């Protein structure tokens, strides 16, 4: 599993990336909010296979993690033309206006696409996507 480290700006200790600093207890990211849109779901975030874009507004990290947890693990589009559940996040400040996309591809696996380097990461488990999201939210801290 990918393990991220971060410098706590309060106590200047390098700690594992988590909600709070393991050394001093400070919260490791602000309440940064990023623009989030979704595809493949209704406004209530129920999978429907639609390509229509649903605007979810500016969401905090906790809210995005909550959405990811609400994607039914057993969900799998059955028709070829059905749109999987997508979260389109960004632009992210400090990343040249680029955003990123998370798609649920079924069987508990996600696809992650970064508009900045165009390198897709396939077959990520939810925990790996959560770590990437935390890293991105931390990198946008203080810039939103």
Interacting residue ranges for Zn ion, rule: CB under 5 A: 8, 10-11, 21, 23-24, 26
Strand segments, DSSP code E, in 25-84 are 33-39, 54-60
What is the C-alpha separation between 62 and 133, in angstroms, rounded? Answer: 10
Smallest separation (angstroms) from Zn ion to the CB of 132: 22
What are the helix and strand counts (H, E) for the chain? Answer: 2, 8
CA distances to 18, 48, 55, 99, 136 from 132, in Å:
12, 26, 22, 13, 6
By beta-carbon proximity to Zn ion, the closer residue of 8 and 61 is 8
Q: Tokens for 42, please give them.
A: 């209704």
Q: What pairing do the DSSP bridges indicate for beta strands 14-16 and 54-60?
A: unpaired
By beta-carbon proximity to Zn ion, the closer residue of 2 and 7 is 7
Smallest separation (angstroms) from Zn ion to the CB of 4: 15
Smallest separation (angstroms) from Zn ion to the CB of 8: 3
By beta-carbon proximity to Zn ion, the closer residue of 30 and 98 is 30
Smallest separation (angstroms) from Zn ion to the CB of 114: 28
Q: Tabulate helix, strand, coil % of the chain (nearest 5).
A: 15, 35, 50
By beta-carbon proximity to Zn ion, the closer residue of 22 and 73 is 22
């Amino acid at each position: 599993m990918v393990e991220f480290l971060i410098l706590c700006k309060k106590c200047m200790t390098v700690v594992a990336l988590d909600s709070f600093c393991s050394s001093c207890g400070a919260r490791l990211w602000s309440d940064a909010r990023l623009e989030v849109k979704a595809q493949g779901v209704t406004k209530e975030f129920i999978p429907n296979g639609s390509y229509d874009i649903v605007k979810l507004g500016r969401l905090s990290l906790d809210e995005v993690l909550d959405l990811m947890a609400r994607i039914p693990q057993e969900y799998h589009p059955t028709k070829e033309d059905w749109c999987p559940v997508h979260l389109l996040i960004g632009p992210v400040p400090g990343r040249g206006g680029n955003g990123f996309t998370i798609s649920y591809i079924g069987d508990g696996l996600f696809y992650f696409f970064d508009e900045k380097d165009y390198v897709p990461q396939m077959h990520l488990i939810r925990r790996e996507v959560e770590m990437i999201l935390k890293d991105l939210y931390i990198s946008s801290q203080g810039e939103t």
